[in-house]
Amino acid sequence: MAGNEDLHIVFNFFEKVPKPPKQDSYEDGMKHIYEYVRRQPSFVLGQIHKNLDQSNGLYKYVNYVGFNNGDFHAFRGGPPPAEWIKVGTEGLGDREQRVCYPGGYAELATSAGQPMCTTRAKDEQNSYYLLVNFKDSDIDEASYSAFEADWKSKTGADIIRDAFPAGIVGGDVGFYKRRRPGITPFIYVLRYEILPGASPDAVLQFLPTLREKLTAGGIPFSNVGAYSICYICDPVKA
């Protein structure tokens, strides 16, 4: 295990994304929100994952944001500040109109031994990612320690590595754990990079086979999806 306790990550899985009333699209709405987030002192990097299958993919977008400490309100608990509610409403509309699962996470380990949540996609236009999430209702709390100690096997990362067909090459893998109970039902998230060179069609065609292999391997995953990076946000320059 190679984690960094100072790093804090937000994952937000968006299942239902209606058109924001004050923006042209979800992506425009998120860019508006990022103009607020990128000014936070602890903000390091934000990346928006867009599902390659916008018609049938369960989570249309997944927001992935790295901070260098836990100062951002999402990690402190309690109600969000009024300014944040205002910015979010301007960007995406009323909270009741969207179905999403935000949560604060720790990056427990990466395959490279270096932080992944603060690393940009190798190729913003041609990098893809597999996101696998795990509900705490499917993993007994008594099993957490064993799950984390043997994470590459327990999460199916080893199965994924061995299942890639010709034309798809895996890259770095990050393993994340929810820091506290909250809106998100996902206790763990696995983020598996696919290196530039694969086609989106090939990645999508790989998913049914991958789901079968994970199920056959007894991996207690909730969902696995394939995503591109549609937006990267950096901090405001000093």
CA atoms within 13 A on the CB side of 235: 13
pLDDT digits (tens, 9 = 90+) for 148-164: 999 999 999 999 999 99
Q: Residue ranges of the alpha helices (H) in 96-175?
A: 144-149, 151-154, 157-163
Contact of 59 with 225, CB cutoff 8 Å = yes
How far lies 223's CA from each of 13, 17, 59, 206, 211, in Å?
A: 11, 18, 9, 14, 9
The alpha carbon dihedral of 211, 215, 219, 222 has a sign of positive
pLDDT digits (tens, 9 = 90+) for 57-82: 999 999 999 999 999 988 987 888 99
What three-state secondary structure class fits 213? helix
Contact of 60 with 92, CB cutoff 8 Å = no
How far lies 206's CA from each of 10, 41, 130, 231, in Å?
A: 27, 40, 11, 24
DSSP character at residue 69 = S
DSSP character at residue 114 = S
Contact of 9 with 64, CB cutoff 8 Å = yes
CA max distance for the chain = 51
Give the residue carrying structure tokens 């236009």.
125
Q: According to the model, what pLDDT value does residue 125 have?
A: 81
**Mean pLDDT for back-to-back runs of 10 residues, the chain (238 residues):** 78 93 95 96 96 95 96 87 94 90 95 90 86 94 94 98 96 94 90 95 97 98 97 87
Contact of 62 with 75, CB cutoff 8 Å = no
Q: According to the model, what pLDDT value does residue 3 have?
A: 60
Lookup: tokens for 63: 């927001």
